[in-house]
Amino acid sequence: MSRVISVNPTSGVERELGDVETTPAEVVASAQRAALAAREFASRPLAWRAGLLRAMADNLEEDDQRLVDVAMDETALTRGRLDGELRRTAFQLRFFADVVLDGAFLGVSIDHAGDSPMGPLPDLRRMRVPLGPVAVFGSSNFPFAFSVPGGDTASALAAGCPVLIKAHPAHPATSRAAFDALARAARVFDAPAGLLTLVFGFEAGVALVEAPDVCAVGFTGSVPAGRALWQRANARATPIPFFGELGSANPLVVTAAAAKERGVEIGEGVAGSMTLGVGQFCTKPGLLFVPADECGDALVTALVAALERVEPMTMLSAGIAEHFAQGAAAIAGVDGSSRLVGDASSKGTEVAAQLFEVAASHFANESSTVLREECFGPLAVVVRYHGREELSDALSLVEPALTFSVLSADGDGDAGWLLEVAQAKAGRVIVNGYPTGVGVSWSMQHGGPWPATTAPAATSVGAGSIERWLRPVTYQNVPEALLPEALRDENPLHLPQRVDGVARGSVGGLG
């Protein structure tokens, strides 16, 4: 039995927790219990489900001081940041309670029997049902919002799916404490046993993806780790959906007009965005396209000055800091790249912001692929371009991303075509703003084509994220008494329904 270890990334001090690493056999057994819980959970009323999510939010807030203290010790993130993240996480759980009560996520559609040009059609009624137990892999960088009590857990529970959560090794004590807050709510609500499971350890994670009773996976993390687990999900005798949010270089383009209008302001804004949370955001702007003119020079000068004012920062773990140093070294080694801020030295988990510059003509080199990949941490690459054509050519090489930002000026002739490029490359397109900060809302899309995510239509934030854990079932010619309540003509649950092709009243799609 290996005890779970919590490490303080600032001091390096290790602490043994009460938990031990979960064995593969225990994972399989937990998944079986989750499968048993799934049917009972799905049958509880939607109002009960919403109440459970709200109670979980209440418990997180009730435990806020203890949760934030534990997380500070494990992550080296600031109290202000963690406190805000906790509020966001509680809000997210309550938001999904609203999504559950709204009912549009069920996608109810009723077609009564009738004639058609293809002959008589039977009575057909369709709704979404929960997939079954979901495995959740939290991220290192958001110990609450994208971890144990985060978006994957909240959306899977909202969908009616039990969750089996792998604690991230960078914050196991936070994972345990947050899990206990969720589990307390489950007990008070008399939720079925097996609804919530927490597992620890690398092998337990692999076992989760392979457990026969697990029906889908939600993952937030790096491209290599995500791709490896995705391959395991695909290699199962019965492959299952794997929703991975992986890497994203998050291009940000400054038009010539914007650099002219407010280059210094943009330089300072980018510095803030790329160092927020020690640059450990999946939406950190990593590729900055700046005109190769005097206004661009002024922007870069301001960016450099702002970054040089940033104090050294502690990353989430020694492994992440080491990976960051390797990434910076690789970028430094690219033909034509020059380092504007930072140096090659590194001291354990403490790092300084780094900024590199390369000409757009070099960006296209084969040796430059490393520039186009995410480097997790407070680092960005400035790509200097001469004119629209060179910019367009360079952008054609950019990999799909979670976000694509365009900083433009009023009446800017470049904004239109840049938005078209942005839309083709990313899940979220931002004008005159910075990509860090992902609002929980009906209209959020946090996803994008590979390698941003493993499933281009999926989002891991916002109302749409619930769709990952559902599949439609059509009931044909099923007598009223045997139909799920959601599909009955008298609509006892007052759900949005599409009836004979026509949306009824305030019916709404998920958006």
Q: Which stretch binds its own copies (CB under 8 A): 250-258, 332-340, 345-353, 456-464?
A: 456-464
Q: Which is nearer to its own copies, 29 or 124 (CB)?
A: 124
Tokens 């999510």 sit at which residue? Answer: 53
DSSP 8-class letter at 366:
G
User: In the complex, what is the shortest distance from the CB of residue 461 to its own copies, in angstroms, rounded to a whole number?
Assistant: 10
Name residues contacting its own copies, limited to 129-148 (CB under 8 A).
129, 131
Question: Judged by CB under 8 A, which of 75, 109, 317, 460 binds its own copies?
Answer: 109
CA gap 463, 159 in Å, rounded: 11
Q: Is 228 in the site for its own copies (CB under 8 A)?
A: no
User: In the complex, what is the shortest distance from the CB of residue 34 to its own copies, in angstroms, rounded to a whole number?
Assistant: 14
Question: Judged by CB under 8 A, which of 18, 115, 116, 490 binds its own copies?
Answer: 116
- Do 433 and 253 meet the contact criterion of CB atoms below 8 Å apart? no
Question: Judged by CB under 8 A, which of 24, 101, 467, 491 binds its own copies?
Answer: 467
- Is there a catalytic annotation at residue 245? yes
Question: Judged by CB under 8 A, which of 298, 310, 475, 491 binds its own copies?
Answer: 475
Question: Judged by CB under 8 A, which of 45, 122, 212, 272 binds its own copies?
Answer: 122
Q: Is 3 in the site for its own copies (CB under 8 A)?
A: no
Alpha helices in 76-159 (DSSP H): 79-102, 151-159
Q: Is 62 in the site for its own copies (CB under 8 A)?
A: no
Q: Is 471 in the site for its own copies (CB under 8 A)?
A: yes
Q: Which is nearer to its own copies, 220 or 405 (CB)?
A: 405
Given the residues 161, 282, 295, 375, select the one marked as catalytic.
Answer: 282
User: In the complex, what is the shortest distance from the CB of residue 321 to its own copies, in angstroms, rounded to a whole number?
Assistant: 29
Name residues contacting its own copies, limited to 391-420 (CB under 8 A).
415-416, 419-420
Q: Is 472 in the site for its own copies (CB under 8 A)?
A: yes
Name residues contacting its own copies, limited to 302-361 (CB under 8 A).
none
Pairing state of beta strands 14-20 and 3-7? Answer: antiparallel
Q: Is 269 in the site for its own copies (CB under 8 A)?
A: no
Q: Within a 10 A sphere around the Cβ of 237, how many other Cβ atoms?
A: 6
Question: Judged by CB under 8 A, which of 66, 389, 474, 489 binds its own copies?
Answer: 474
* CA nearest neighbour of 156 among 92, 229, 107: 92
Amino acid at 389: E
User: In the complex, what is the shortest distance from the CB of residue 441 to its own copies, in angstroms, rounded to a whole number?
Assistant: 5
CA gap 360, 374 in Å, rounded: 18
Pairing state of beta strands 401-407 and 251-254? Answer: parallel
- Do 288 and 254 meet the contact criterion of CB atoms below 8 Å apart? yes
Q: Which is nearer to its own copies, 88 or 176 (CB)?
A: 88
* CA nearest neighbour of 150 among 139, 160, 161: 139
Amino acid at 212: P
Given the residues 245, 357, 390, 399, select the one marked as catalytic.
Answer: 245
- Three-class DSSP category at 428: strand
Q: Can you point out the beta strands (E) in 213-326?
A: 216-220, 242-245, 251-254, 287-291, 313-314
Question: Judged by CB under 8 A, which of 124, 225, 264, 305 binds its own copies?
Answer: 124
Name residues contacting its own copies, limited to 71-100 (CB under 8 A).
84, 87-88, 90-92, 94, 98
Query: How many residues bind to its own copies according to rule CB under 8 A?
Result: 92
Q: Which stretch binds its own copies (CB under 8 A): 68-76, 165-173, 340-348, 475-483?
A: 475-483
- Three-class DSSP category at 72: helix
How far are the Cα atoms of 161, 232, 244, 317, 325 from residue 227, in angstroms, in the given order? 24, 9, 8, 22, 22
Q: Which is nearer to its own copies, 386 or 475 (CB)?
A: 475
Q: Is 107 in the site for its own copies (CB under 8 A)?
A: yes
Q: Output the six-digit token pair for 345.
A: 């030295």
Judged by phi (left if over 0) then psi (alpha if -120 to 50, else beta), residue 477 lies in left
Name residues contacting its own copies, limited to 477-506 (CB under 8 A).
477-479, 482, 496, 498, 500-503, 506
166-175: burial string, b at 16+ Cβ within 10 Å, e else: bbbbbbbbbb
User: In the complex, what is the shortest distance from the CB of residue 20 to its own copies, in angstroms, rounded to a whole number?
Assistant: 33
Q: Which stretch binds its own copies (CB under 8 A): 14-22, 300-308, 312-320, 469-477?
A: 469-477
Amino acid at 61: E
Name residues contacting its own copies, limited to 20-59 (CB under 8 A).
39
* CA nearest neighbour of 245 among 438, 397, 99, 476: 438
- Do 48 and 189 meet the contact criterion of CB atoms below 8 Å apart? yes
Residue 235, C-beta contacts closer than 8 angstroms, at least 6 positions apart:
none
Q: Which is nearer to its own copies, 292 or 398 (CB)?
A: 398
Q: Is 449 in the site for its own copies (CB under 8 A)?
A: yes
| DSSP string computed for 458-501 | --SSSGGGGGGGEEEEEEES--GGGS-GGG-TT-TT---EEETT
Q: At 14, give phi and psi (nearest 5°).
A: -105, 150
Name residues contacting its own copies, limited to 239-268 (CB under 8 A).
239-241
Q: Is 6 in the site for its own copies (CB under 8 A)?
A: no
* CA nearest neighbour of 475 among 139, 59, 122: 122
- Is there a catalytic annotation at residue 350? no
Question: Judged by CB under 8 A, which of 19, 21, 74, 102 binds its own copies?
Answer: 102
User: In the complex, what is the shortest distance from the CB of residue 219 to its own copies, in angstroms, rounded to a whole number?
Assistant: 15
Q: Which stretch binds its own copies (CB under 8 A): 73-81, 233-241, 314-322, 369-377?
A: 233-241
The residues assigned a catalytic role are: 245, 282
